[in-house]
Each structure stands twice: as C-alpha cells, then as structure tokens.
C-alpha cells in the first residue's frame, strides 16, 4: 500500500480559518481518539521513564494542536512532584486560541505561533515531542522535521505517529462512517490514513535525518514511535 501525498491538498484543520464550532468539535474528536486509541498511553509511558520526582525539565511539543499532550504531561509532573516548563508550538492560530482556552490553570505551558520547520529556539530542550504530525509533511520536510527535533534536544526526543497499513485504513473508514461522522473529522482522518508513513519508511526518515542509535517500536491501534535517549 503506497503512501499517497499531494502537498497541494491540505487537511481541513490545517487550512487558514477562524475559530469555529466545527474546528472546536474536530479538535475534541482528536482528543478522544488520542485517549481511546493509544497516543496518551504511548506518550505517558515515555514520560514516566524520562521525568522523575524533583526534576526540573524544559519540554517542547511541536505541532501541539489543542494542547492535550502538554496538559497530560503537566498533570503527570504535578502528580509526582516534578517541575516542567513546556513550549507548545503550532502554526494554526485558531487552533492555538482553542488550546489556550483549554489550558486555563496550566501556567507551565506557553503557546507559540510558529512554523516548526523555520522555528529557531534560543536554547535547547530536555525533551522534544512531536505527536501525530509527521504525516502532514512530504518525505523531505518530514526528514527536516526529524533533524530539527534532534538539533534542539539536549537529552530526549519522542516522535510518534500513525502507522500506515490495512488495519489503519479500515479502522479509520469504519470509525468515520459510524461514530466520528463530522465532515472535517471524516475528511482529515481518511486523508491521514493515506498519508501516514509505514514502519520501514519511518526508519528510513530517521536515518535521512541523521539519527543514530535510536529506538523504534510498533504500538497498538496502528501507532508507531521513534525516539532518542
């Protein structure tokens, strides 16, 4: 099953737009999918290994969406007595407005409107995260993103995404036919299934980006991750 990617075709959530009920509902659906189909469990498993009580950690979350991953990490850090500061980047200003509203009371999170391929931080981070964003890019830009992740991290990097294959495509079509039937969610989810990288392609991207001695693993519900550290 070959990857299908046309850079001229954008997912609906990536298009310039104001805050709307449709966008808020789509981001809510993404949070539900993250919770039910393994992304929260995947990320939290690494955070439990990498963040220890009394640690003071600087984290960046690239392509943060509605900020659910940063909030998940802050909740974990508060629970174990660690201190985290998280910069959460996204280039969709309407999405960031929604993320800021949802993050009231999370003073540990700062939201930044930036293109992650052009963003240049003043200093490196302890942990660099990128969750469910790699498939939004062509192969060349995906490799650039992975290279950037490595460059701005002083310790750990975790990049997780969908894993292309029959089960992902069939599962997405079934879910968007029966449950997640909103037009934006249905369109974007089905397009994402076509654009996701395979396990082998993810490995190749990391090597193109200059990653060495990295970990890679398949996770349930058609997820996968690569990491450094």
Residue 156 has pLDDT above 90, yes or no: yes
Confidence of residue 224 (pLDDT cuts 50, 70, 90): very high
For residue 11, being part of any structural domain is answered with no
Confidence of residue 130 (pLDDT cuts 50, 70, 90): very high
For residue 139, being part of any structural domain is answered with yes
For residue 32, being part of any structural domain is answered with yes
Residue 180 has pLDDT above 90, yes or no: no
For residue 9, being part of any structural domain is answered with no
Query: Residue 1 has what pLDDT?
Result: 76
For residue 7, being part of any structural domain is answered with no
pLDDT (mean) for 162-189: 92
What percentage of the chain carries pLDDT values higher than 70? Answer: 100
For residue 5, being part of any structural domain is answered with no
pLDDT digits (tens, 9 = 90+) for 101-125: 999 999 999 999 999 999 999 999 9
For residue 45, being part of any structural domain is answered with yes
DSSP codes, the chain: ------TT---GGGS-----HHHHHHHHHHHHHHHHTTHHHHHHHHHHHH--TT-EEEEEEES-TTSHHHHHHHHHHHHHT-EEEEEEEES-HHHHHHHHHHTTT-TTEEEEE--TTT---SS-EEEEEEES-GGGS-HHHHHHHHHHHHHTEEEEEEEEEE--SHHHHHHHHHHHHHT---HHHHHHHHHHHHHPPPHHHHHHHHHHTT--S-EEEEETTTEEEEEE-
pTM above 0.75, yes or no: yes
Query: Residue 64 has what pLDDT?
Result: 97
Domain count, the chain: 1
CATH of the domain at 120: 3.40.50.150
Query: Residue 13 has what pLDDT?
Result: 92
Query: Residue 72 has what pLDDT?
Result: 98
**Domain hosting residue 178, numbered range:** 17-228
For residue 211, being part of any structural domain is answered with yes
């Amino acid at each position: 099953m070959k990857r299908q990617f046309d850079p001229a075709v954008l997912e609906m959530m990536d298009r310039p737009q104001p805050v709307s009920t449709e966008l808020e509902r789509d981001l809510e659906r993404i949070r539900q999918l993250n919770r039910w189909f393994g992304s929260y469990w995947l990320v939290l498993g690494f955070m439990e290994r990498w963040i220890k009580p009394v640690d003071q950690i600087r984290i960046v979350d690239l392509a943060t969406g509605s900020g659910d991953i940063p909030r998940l990490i802050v909740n974990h850090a508060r629970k174990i007595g660690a201190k985290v500061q998280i910069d959460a980047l996204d280039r969709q200003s309407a999405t960031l407005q929604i993320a800021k509203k949802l993050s009231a009371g999370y003073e540990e999170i700062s939201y930044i409107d930036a293109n992650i391929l052009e963003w240049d931080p003043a200093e490196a981070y302890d942990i660099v995260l990128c969750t469910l964003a790699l498939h939004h890019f062509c192969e060349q830009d995906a490799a650039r993103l992975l290279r950037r992740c490595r460059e701005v991290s002083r310790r750990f990097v975790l990049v997780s995404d969908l894993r292309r294959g029959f089960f992902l495509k069939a599962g997405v079509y079934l879910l968007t036919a029966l449950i997640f039937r909103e037009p934006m969610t249905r369109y974007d989810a089905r397009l994402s299934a076509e654009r996701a990288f395979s396990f082998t392609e993810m490995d190749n991207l990391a090597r193109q980006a200059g990653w060495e001695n990295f970990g890679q693993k398949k996770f349930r519900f058609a997820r996968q991750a690569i990491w450094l550290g």
